[in-house]
Structure 1
Amino acid sequence: MDQENDFRDAQDAGDRLIAAHASEDPFAAAFKATRMPMIITDPRQYDNPIIFSNDAFTKLTGYSRDELIGRNCRLLQGAETDPEAIAKLRTAISEERDLSIDILNYRRDGSTFWNALFVSPVRDETGEVIYFFASQLDFTNIKSKEAELAAARHMAEQEVARRTVDLTAALTTKTALVHEVDHRVKNNLLTIASIVKLQARMTESDVVERTLMSVLNRVEALSTVQRKLLNDEDVGHFDVADFANDLATDVIGALKRTDIVLTTDLREVVVPATKASPLALIINELVGDAVRRGLRDGGGEIHLEVRRLNGHFLIRVVDTVTPVDVDREEAAFSQKMLEACLQQLRAKLERRVEGRRTEVSVTLLVKD
């Protein structure tokens, strides 16, 4: 009877949590539909039981929802699970703090998988921990060194696309749980970047290396966006000028050339967070275009400007370089990326070329 009561209490807690979010709530939809395995536990109940899990978690572990609700997460542990990892997990729970750890877990059928686990407490307005949120990532192939280049590249493309969608949807709710989902995005983008870097170092093909570095460049731009959104007190908005300054400084600094002169005219322009990713990619492509056309090889001058224009705002990049031959495939891909982002934001682009001087201006509404 006690076991039935425990199950009923955990199930009721999970039902109340989901009922608090309308069906159209991006958090509820993203939590249920995402392919990232996720669970929520209730530390206010005995033994901190699972009160909600998504379909991805069932698929990963083999346990049905009825088998999970009311039980502690230790059901995934087994004979070969590292006791030290278990101790760290218990300590983090008891001390009510975040924990990121790699741990060997067991599925319902007894098979094992390496789990990149992230656990974080969710607090109410008073600071009391009301839930623990946990996300899992099966990285067994990477752990066993069986991942190949094609799998890593596919994983990176899929993760970036999925995380971008999850991020823009989750940020609009501005709830504590949505903020925790955003936190997972940040950690996984960093994981993707690390995987791509490793594969780029290992490959012997120049073409593959260039492709991976192209992917990495855009993943890092999105990672910068995510870091700024999470560090800003107003997580629903994005400062375009602040991001542009960091990106240009990082890109130009990485070239390690003393013959590049970078100037800026950056004034605060805050836009909704839903515009953050396409705006970041637009700035990344404009600066990258100048780098490819000559800054990387012969130096030159580049000026970056961000400012308001009566309800609109302007992104302007001006460069003066000695032109060099550009990889056509890389340039074409960059152009497609730029066009897609411009279309998404309903932005307008103007390009003027006079000798060695190229000026590109992008204008769009601050608010829809």
Structure 2
Amino acid sequence: MLVTDACRPDNPIVWVNDAFLDLTGYAREELIGRNCRFLQGAGTDPDEVRRIHGAIAAVEPISTELMNYRKDGTPFWNAMTITPVRDAEGRPAYFFAAQADMTEKHRLELAMKGTNDALEREVGERTAAFQAALEQKTALLHEVDHRVKNNLQVISSLMLLKARRTPEGEAREALQGMAERIGALSTAHRMLYSAGDVTRFDLGEFTTDFLSDINAGLDPERTRVEADVDSIAVSAAMAAPLALMIHELTTNAVRHAFPGERVGRVSITARRNGTGMHLSIADDGVGIAAGPANPAGFGRNLVEMVVRQLRGTIAWHEGTPGTRVEIHIPFSATH
């Protein structure tokens, strides 16, 4: 993973994680302040490069695969998802890129091109119906989502392992929170992988799956999360932002709305309307003002950034009792 600064000339790298250093072979000080193009080389597809530049110029998310080169000159296939992050005024502030090494996948594809019979047997063993129903492009898109889901699950598991070995406090809570957010993104990619139409994401199905996971960890006598969500199909590009937003609002309500032994309920509602989609997440807890202060938290800021990315609007309401968050996402942003 890496972050670039959209406000500085040439969009330089300002942060990378250790996995990116392992993938490319560079040291952190060799990367900070440079544009990502230094990873390109003779085998890099110029058409894909132009497509990436166009998405960045338009401040739009993009997913692609590109041949890049490590520090020692070794080529590797880089599957990346680049997402813009906007500031409070809606201007592009950063670009976040999640990346994965797809070299082995491409090696297997090349090996299978000359062995059609072996390919048919392999695909037939995994799922004959899948081969009969989908074209090659759809199969590849499924495979990308499957691999991204697996990678996110590994990252989430590693963060949870680190959290368990970290003393109680803000650092441990931050690690657990990030692991859960990554888990929500993994669920979205798992649903894209298993769906018949890889270009669409069903919000109702995701919410049902999400509720099953979150309620499994709650005491049903004390806290319950319920949902009444239409089967709303949105574009695959919106799957991750919507999954992250629903996860953040729901888990924050579960954690902070019912301190002590307070009993309560969280409800998620989503409906189509004349101009798009209306999402409401409400609880009957203590309310925002009465909730415990969390100076290190950034959940509300994260939700508001995601809503801006989707060109939507958000309103926070104090209830009697509890808190209600009303979000409107226009169809133009999701279709």
TM over 0.5: yes
Q: 1:142 is matched with which residue?
A: none
Alignment-derived partner of residue 145 in structure 2: 182
C-alpha spacing 1:295/1:128, structure 2 compared with 1 (3 Å): farther
How far apart are the structure 1 equivalents of 2:213 and 2:259?
14
- Which residue matches 1:215? 178
Separation in structure 2 between the aligned mates of residue 194 and residue 264 of structure 1, nearest angstrom: 27
Note the alpha carbon deviations across 1:254-312, whole angstroms, 9 max, x for none: 12241224432221000001111111111112212311333464221222111111241
Correspondence for 1:355 = 320
Q: 1:70-119: CA deviations, max 9, x gaps?
A: xxxxxxxxxxxxxxxxxxxxxxxxxxxxxxxxxxxxxxxxxxxxx99954
Percent identity between the two aligned chains: 27
Q: 2:64 aligned with 1:30, yes or no? A: yes
SS, match of residue 217 in structure 2: helix
CA contact (8 A) 1:347 1:363 kept: yes
Give the direction of change, closer, same or farther, for the CA distance of 1:187–1:263 in structure 2 (3 Å limit): closer
Structure 2: how far apart are the matches of 1:306 and 1:23? 38
Q: Which residue of 2 aligns with 1:364?
A: 329
Write the deviation string for residues 36-95 of structure 1: whole angstroms up to 9, x where unpaired: xxxxxxxxxxxxxxxxxx334x44xx4556xx9xxxxxxxxxxxxxxxxxxxxxxxxxxx
The number of residue pairs the alignment matches comes to 237
The question of whether the paired residues in 2 share the 8 Å contact of 1:261 and 1:300 is answered with yes
Aligned to 1:89: none
Distance of 2:187 and 2:321 partners within structure 1: 31
1:309–1:204: structure 2 CA closer, same or farther, 3 Å change rule? same
1:214–1:22: structure 2 CA closer, same or farther, 3 Å change rule? closer
Structure 1: 4+ residue segments shifted above 6 A: 15-19
2-side partners of 1:300 and 1:318: how far apart? 11
Residue pair 2:203, 2:232 contacting (<8 A) in 1 also:
yes
Q: CA deviation at 1:362?
A: 0.8
Q: 1:116 to 1:177 in 2, by over 3 A?
A: closer
* Equivalent residues of 2:170, 2:296 under 8 A apart: no
Matched, 1:308 2:308: no
Structure 1 residues 225 and 55 mapped into 2: Cα distance closer, same or farther (>3 Å)? same
The separation in 1 between residues aligned to 2:43 and 2:142, in whole angstroms, is 19
Matching residue of 2:197: 234
Runs (5+) with no aligned partner, structure 2: 1-41, 53-61, 77-100, 123-135
Does the 8 A contact of 1:257 with 1:299 survive in 2?
no
Match of residue 285, structure 1, among 241, 245, 248: 248
Larger radius of gyration: 1
Q: Please provide the CA RMSD for this pair.
A: 3.7
Q: Give, in whole Å, the separation in 2 of the partners of 1:129 and 1:17.
A: 27
What TM-score does the superposition give when structure 2 sets the normalisation length? Answer: 0.60
CA–CA separation in structure 2 for the residues paired with 1:341 and 1:327: 23
3-state SS of paired residue (2:284): strand
Opposite residue 273 of structure 2, the aligned amino acid is L
- Specify the alignment match of 1:326 in structure 2: 292
**Does structure 2 conserve the Cα–Cα contact (< 8 Å) formed by 1:294 and 1:321?**
yes
Deviation at 1:215, TM superposition (A): 0.7
**Greater per-residue helix proportion:** 1
Counterpart of 1:55 in structure 2 is 68
> How far has the Cα of 1:328 moved from its partner?
1.8
Paired letter, 1:30 = T
Residue equivalent to 1:11: none
Question: Is residue 304–residue 314 contact of structure 2 (8 Å, CA) maintained in 1?
Answer: no
**How far has the Cα of 1:174 moved from its partner?**
5.1
> Alpha-carbon deviation of 1:325?
3.7
Amino acid paired to 2:246: I
Q: How far, CA to CA, are the matches of 1:325 and 1:248 in structure 2? A: 23
- Are the aligned partners of 1:238 and 1:272 in contact in 2 as well (CA < 8 Å)? yes
Deviations 1:314-352 (A, max 9, x none): 111121124564242254x00110111011001111222
Using the size of structure 1 for normalisation, the TM-score is 0.55
Do the aligned partners of residues 118 and 312 (structure 1) sit closer, same or farther apart at CA in structure 2, a change above 3 Å counting?
A: same
Q: Distance in 1 between matches of 2:213 and 2:145?
A: 24
> More deviation in 274-283 or 287-296?
287-296
- Give the distance between the partners of 1:17 and 1:208, measured in 2 at CA: 40
Q: Distance in 1 between matches of 2:119 and 2:313?
A: 47
CA contact (8 A) 2:200 2:234 kept: yes
Contact kept? 2:192, 2:198, Cα under 8 Å: yes
Are 1:203 and 2:203 matched, yes or no? no
Structure 2 residue matching 1:271: 3-state secondary structure: strand
| 2:314 aligned with 1:338 | no
Residue deviations 1:12-33 (CA, integer Å, cap 9, x gap) = xxx99969x766567x98322x
Deviation at 1:353, TM superposition (A): 1.6
- Contact preservation (8 Å) 1:174, 1:236: no
